[in-house]
Amino acid sequence: MTLRNIAIIAHVDHGKTTLVDALLKQSGAVRDNQRVAERAMDSNDLEKERGITILAKATSVEWKDCRINIVDTPGHADFGGEVERILSMVDGAVLLVDAAEGPMPQTKFVVGKALKVGLKPIVVINKIDRPDARHVEVVNEVFDLFAALDATDEQLDFPILYGSGRAGWLAESPEGPTDQGLAALFDLVVRHVPEPKVASGPFRMIGTILEANPFLGRIITGRVHSGNLKPNQAVKVLGSDGNMIEQGRISKILAFRGLERQPIDEANAGDIVAIAGLSKGTVADTFCDPSVSEPLEAQPIDPPTVTMSFIVNDSPLAGTEGDKVTSRVIRDRLFREAEGNVALKIEESSEKDSFFVSGRGELQLAVLIETMRREGFEIAVSRPRVVMQKDENGQLLEPVEEVVIDVDEEHAGIVVQKMSERKAEMKELRPSGGNRQRLVFHAPTRGLIGYQSELLTDTRGTAIMNRLFHAYEPYKGDIPGRIQGVLIANEPGEAVAYALWNLEDRGPMVIDPGVKVYAGMIIGIHTRDNDLEVNVLKGKKLTNIRAAGKDEAVKLTPPVRMTLERALAWIQDDELVEVTPKSIRLRKLYLDTHERKRFEKSKVA
């Protein structure tokens, strides 16, 4: 049986995982009567809830006499570290592009990486049945993108298929035929993608995906670079510097067969397999025969651009809702995460009760926090900060992102105004069909933190923003922050509806009545620019005089709901988000009034 290894790459929401569902069904990997959830490859709870792919995953299908290993990759730039590693495992890529939206920033990112490692992509114009589809222009835009990314003549001569992953058909013409299913894609993969290049010599493999299994321990997925591997075979693990990390024996070799992983007796060069039995080897390490002394070269990973402090929760309510609260437990969890996610960087602070976690963007860090929260952790986290660098002349450099905003024409003016306030430079403005405009900016990452919710408010929810790391550029100067102050509770207790009702003139609340509060906790947004301490425990004075119409229940305005991402983007440098399995609370860094005043004075000085 011949072998092909391909990755499916695309921008967020262009239909990768849906296409993989259709490939699994039509190849016979999934029985007709088998119950399979929609987007079967999105197995993680957060992936199902958010409708995005966070972790890269492998599967395989059989077509005629060929086994095709397929890797489904994330489409979001924050999870780009997953994509970069995966491309070293495969020999071809299927690039999905939405027939209406065309190539987006993330398309540019993944295509650039794929072309750099020499892959010759197959282009699939997906969602051809959309009423606003414009496939001719999209094909031209894809060609222009390939040319701008310095594709070779061979790569520019890419084959194109049109169709709909959801409807389950692809063809060489936009008109169809629509009754042949995905046969055109299967045949094209077998024809166009080369067989895996196999090196001579003993067993070698680079780890690309790491996961923990309660029965088998640490499982590493990768592509066998050379030689073959059998269960119980002795192997050693080499780091990227050539030093030996550990020696051991392989307890199990698992191959991907449809949605299942099955044990096999031998893995040959070129195949993508998962191995168990080693306790220290991780992503980017070389797993090899004991006779090998040189490690394989791993793909370099782009540096992190955003960092946050993860602090042991020290609020008065600490430990009341979560069971994992100590610095040792948090430290072990963070370092375990960094082992499998090479785009994350963890550093301990000098105080030992906080950790600096750096990643690609707020979404990547928010997903990590949400995952830890569901595991029972309690932590306090700071506002995201950008990772600065200095050039050889000592000039300060900051990360700049390429931002593409699709917006209705009537709202384009306010978007341009707000982006220019954030020190963004407009690079392009063009119509994108249906009375919409596409605005392209180069904006400092600092200015984009917290802009997403403001953009949706300004454009009545019609704007779509996509971001991609562009380069490090000279520091652009100060960017104005949040203009409103906060309302701070001055006593511990339970918030009273009557007190909240009396405070509504001061600004919107962020808590409900009956919620436990403590001194220093943020309970609302002040209408002015200063912070204000308030009493939320003050009940109504009871008298024996009844007045008509005065004793009805107070009617409260619904509070502002702070999701995790919104809270992280909204807080200032002297504030924290307290995250527990049941609650998301906002608080001041210093809970005591006098300490806060001292901190303010020290900043002025």
Least Cα distance to 442 among 410, 390, 398 occurs for 398
The torsion angles phi and psi of 460, rounded to 5 degrees, stand at 55, 40
| Residues facing 106 on adjacent strands | none
**Token code pair at residue 551:** 């004793």
CA 63 – CA 66 distance, rounded (Å): 5
d(CA 461, CA 457): 6
547 phi/psi in degrees, rounded to 5: -115, 140
Amino acid, single-letter form, for residue 181: G
Place of tokens 């992190």: 304
Measured distance CA(190)–CA(167) in Å, rounded:
22
Closest-CA residue to 39 (of 54, 257, 5): 54
Task: Calculate the dihedral angle through the C-alpha atoms of 400, 402, 405, 410, rounding to the nearest 10 degrees.
Answer: 70
What's the farthest any 2 CA atoms get from each other in the chain?
96
Is 126 flagged in the annotation as binding? yes
Residue 326 is assigned to a ligand binding site: no
CA-only gyration radius of the chain, Å: 27
- Residue 129 is labelled as binding a ligand: yes
Residue 451's closest CA among 485, 422, 410, 408? Answer: 422
Is there a binding annotation on residue 127? yes
Residue 150 marked ligand-binding: no
Binding residue per annotation — 128?
yes
Tell me how far apart the alpha carbons of residues 463 and 315 are, in angstroms, rounded to a whole number. Answer: 38
Residue 504: which of 523, 517, 531 has the closest Cα? 523
Binding site annotation covers 225?
A: no
How far apart are alpha carbons 90 and 558 in whole angstroms? Answer: 51
Residue pair 94/67 in contact by the 8 Å Cβ criterion: no
Q: Distance from first CA to last CA of the chain, Å, rounded?
A: 74
The values of phi and psi at residue 82, to 5°, are -65, -45
Decide: 588 and 488 in contact? Cβ < 8 Å: yes
Cα distance between residue 58 and residue 496, in whole Å: 53
3-state secondary structure 87-148: CCCCCEEEEEEECCCCCCHHHHHHHHHHHHCCCCCEEEEECCCCCCCCHHHHHHHHHHHHHH
Number of other CB atoms surrounding residue 68 within 10 Å: 22
Residues of each annotated binding site? 13-18, 126-129
Residues of each annotated binding site for GTP? 13-18, 126-129
